[in-house]
Chains A and B, each alone.
Chain A
Amino acid sequence: MSQNLKLPLHRAAHGRTGDKGDRSNISVIAWHPALWSLLVEQITEEAVAHQFAHRRPSSVRRYLLPRLHAMNFVLDGVLDGGVNDSLNLDTHGKALSYLLLDLPLDVPTDLIPFLVGPG
């Protein structure tokens, strides 16, 4: 019987943040097609909204791109007004992909060979 390991999402996926106004979009791209269904099951709108709770998103939408084994999250209202309004050093929220990629992921041991990066 295969067991599950709890690992950070960045072992299974990579991504990049973009911004327009007070809206942030963050891509989550599977490192391998074998990992795709794990992402679809676990990296949900609810999980992302919880990870960004301190930024009080007014909405979190997830778009799936199965051919690319990628998803695109669109988070509204998470940039304290956006690049021209926020007092943050990172007014664009460029670093936020790394906050999303810190989400925990349950990975069955048979999928471990598809993960990337030091364990």
Chain B
Amino acid sequence: MAIKPNLRIGCAAGFSGDRTDAAGPIVDAMLAVGGPSVLIFETLAERTLALAQLARRTDPQGGYEPLLDELLRPILQPCMAGGIRIVSNFGAANPSGAARHIVALARELGMRVPRIAIVEGDDLSGTEQRKLLGSAAEGLSLVSANAYLGAEAIADALTAGAEIVVCGRVADPSLTVGPALAHFGWARDDWTRLARATMAGHLLECGSQVSGGYYADPGVKDVPGLANLGYPIAELNADGECIVSKAPGTGGRIDAHTVKEQLLYEVHDPSAYLTPDVVADITEADVIELGPDRVQLTGVRGHARPGSLKVNLCHETGWLAEGEISYAGARAEARARLAADVLRQRLDGLGPLRVDLIGVASVFGDDAGCWLGAQVPGEARDVRLRVAMKHAERAKAERLLREVTALYCCGPAGGGGVRTALRPRLGTVSCLVPRESVPATYRFIEAAAS
């Protein structure tokens, strides 16, 4: 059998809310090189799906990535004309809605309507599927419940001829493993190759976090062109090993250090990185600088995939109330501390109040205030007091907003710039379900249905 040519996979988004103009340079670079190419967008953090479910409650046609149009409009035509396939979880809570949007976009652009497949099976929030969750969902005001699906349905859809695969919740690296499985035709228990592709996907899944984003620290970790970061492109060979690079002419940096930071990002035990597709082991992995902005990952090993799938449940947990007010000039810190004492007294009995002195101590601290309490009061001259509280009842949470606002007249001298906010809170819990009980499927969207 002839060895398959290498596969290029570019990642143009690392979360919902990422830059939306990242895809253009990736597509240009992949078209210039030619050969099999895939563009992926990773747009689902843990909470994003719950927010999408809430959006769908308001608008049954919605519930997919809100910036879908902005992400795809500039590159849909060149991708389809150049044979670049697109794989993403931007379907969120409504993959078929996202697919219909893409059909409409293609028509508006006057291009041929692409063959779009959607992957289903992740959503376990329905009455029947909810039984699978057992005690995990008991007593919760459930907003979403989604299993992390693997790469197989994506691979099957691509093999069946899909040009675009729209998913809801799939494991982030599976967006890379799916196209690699389809292209190279690996056995589905080829754990070594699946693990290598998984770690390639892990390097890609946060977009620019491997290519200089989230890395810069002036004078120590300098990154050129942070305002024009090149998003990563991984070139996988038939053994699943990868070389990470980025489009010419873009900003950013790819070297052994940027790759190591991303390789370990959100990894716990490096000998057992669990995904639905495989258990990857990076304890013998190495990164090799091949040239400027060109790094190879080697030595990844794999073990049989887990028998269970992880399910994330999001549920409503009441309200988050926050308020802020600023103090500046002589004794600013003392006045901010006094304002905090006033708020503690006024809100006593409503629940724990978090206090931050922005400009003094507001980030490393704990909710209970041990860190702030250990700081010796100082002479800071520019301090913003922030307080935060959670409560199951909206009216009780709103008390905090009113008390912070009242500091305008009743608080220490010179307080200004009050801002308050009340937000619904979403909690998450996770559980495991047997793999067999959550079958992933794909189906093509009929263009006529739009």
Query: Please, which residues of chain B bring their CB within 8 A of the CB of A87?
Result: 320, 352, 354, 367, 388-390
| CB of B77 closer than 8 Å to a CB of A | no
Please provide the chain B residues from 120 to 141 with a CB less than 8 Å away from any CB of chain A in the complex.
none
Query: Please, which residues of chain B bring their CB within 8 A of the CB of A27?
Result: 260-261, 264-265
| CB of B190 closer than 8 Å to a CB of A | no
Q: How far is the CA of A85 from the CA of B367 in the complex (A)?
A: 10
CB atoms of B367 and A80 under 8 A apart: yes
CB atoms of A23 and B268 under 8 A apart: yes
Query: Please, which residues of chain A bring their CB within 8 A of the CB of B362?
Result: 89
CB atoms of B354 and A65 under 8 A apart: no
Given A63-B270, A118-B219, are A89 and B386 also a contact pair (CB < 8 Å)? yes
Q: How far is the CA of A16 from the CA of B268 in the complex (A)?
A: 13
| CB of A50 closer than 8 Å to a CB of B | no
Residue-wise interface mask of A (1-38) relative to B, using a CB-CB cutoff of 8 A (1 in contact, 0 not) = 00000000010001110111101010101010000000
CB atoms of B366 and A29 under 8 A apart: no
Q: How far is the CA of A83 from the CA of B263 in the complex (A)?
A: 22
CB atoms of B47 and A83 under 8 A apart: yes
Given A16-B261, A68-B286, A118-B219, are A74 and B268 also a contact pair (CB < 8 Å)? yes
Across the two chains, which residue of chain B brings its CB closest to A97? B261
Q: How far is the CA of A117 from the CA of B221 in the complex (A)?
A: 9
| CB of A70 closer than 8 Å to a CB of B | yes
Query: Please, which residues of chain B bring their CB within 8 A of the CB of A83?
Result: 46-47, 428
- A7: shortest Cβ distance to chain B, in Å? 13
Residue-wise interface mask of B (265-296) relative to A, using a CB-CB cutoff of 8 A (1 in contact, 0 not) = 11111110000000000111111000000000
| CB of B399 closer than 8 Å to a CB of A | no
Given A20-B266, A67-B284, A118-B219, are A15 and B363 also a contact pair (CB < 8 Å)? no
CB atoms of B283 and A65 under 8 A apart: yes
Please provide the chain A residues from 66 to 102 with a CB less than 8 Å away from any CB of chain B in the complex.
67-68, 70, 72, 74, 80, 82-90, 95-96, 99
CB atoms of B264 and A25 under 8 A apart: yes
Query: Please, which residues of chain B bring their CB within 8 A of the CB of A31?
Result: 257
Across the two chains, which residue of chain A brings its CB closest to B430? A21
Q: How far is the CA of A74 from the CA of B269 in the complex (A)?
A: 8
Query: Please, which residues of chain B bring their CB within 8 A of the CB of A80?
Result: 366-367
| CB of B187 closer than 8 Å to a CB of A | no
* Number of residues on chain A facing chain B (CB within 8 A): 39
Across the two chains, which residue of chain A brings its CB closest to B314? A84
Residue from the list B219, B264, B320 in contact with A70, Cβ < 8 A? B264
CB atoms of A67 and B427 under 8 A apart: no
Residue from the list B266, B268, B370 in contact with A54, Cβ < 8 A? B370
| CB of A116 closer than 8 Å to a CB of B | yes
Query: Please, which residues of chain B bring their CB within 8 A of the CB of A10?
Result: 220
- B404: shortest Cβ distance to chain A, in Å? 14
| CB of B183 closer than 8 Å to a CB of A | no
Across the two chains, which residue of chain A brings its CB closest to B428? A84
Residue-wise interface mask of B (334-378) relative to A, using a CB-CB cutoff of 8 A (1 in contact, 0 not) = 000000000000000000101010000011111100110010000
| CB of B425 closer than 8 Å to a CB of A | yes
Please provide the chain B residues from 238 to 273 with a CB less than 8 Å away from any CB of chain A in the complex.
257, 260-271
Given A14-B221, A83-B46, A84-B317, are A99 and B364 also a contact pair (CB < 8 Å)? yes
Q: How far is the CA of A68 from the CA of B258 in the complex (A)?
A: 12
- A57: shortest Cβ distance to chain B, in Å? 11
Given A86-B367, A90-B363, A95-B364, are A25 and B356 also a contact pair (CB < 8 Å)? no
Report B's interface with A, CB cutoff 8 A. Answer: 46-47, 214-215, 217, 219-221, 257, 260-271, 282-287, 299, 314, 317, 320, 352, 354, 356, 362-367, 370-371, 374, 386, 388-390, 425-428, 430
14 chain-A/chain-B pairs, Cβ below 8 angstroms: A16-B261, A21-B428, A23-B268, A63-B269, A65-B283, A67-B286, A67-B299, A70-B264, A72-B270, A84-B425, A84-B427, A85-B425, A89-B363, A117-B220
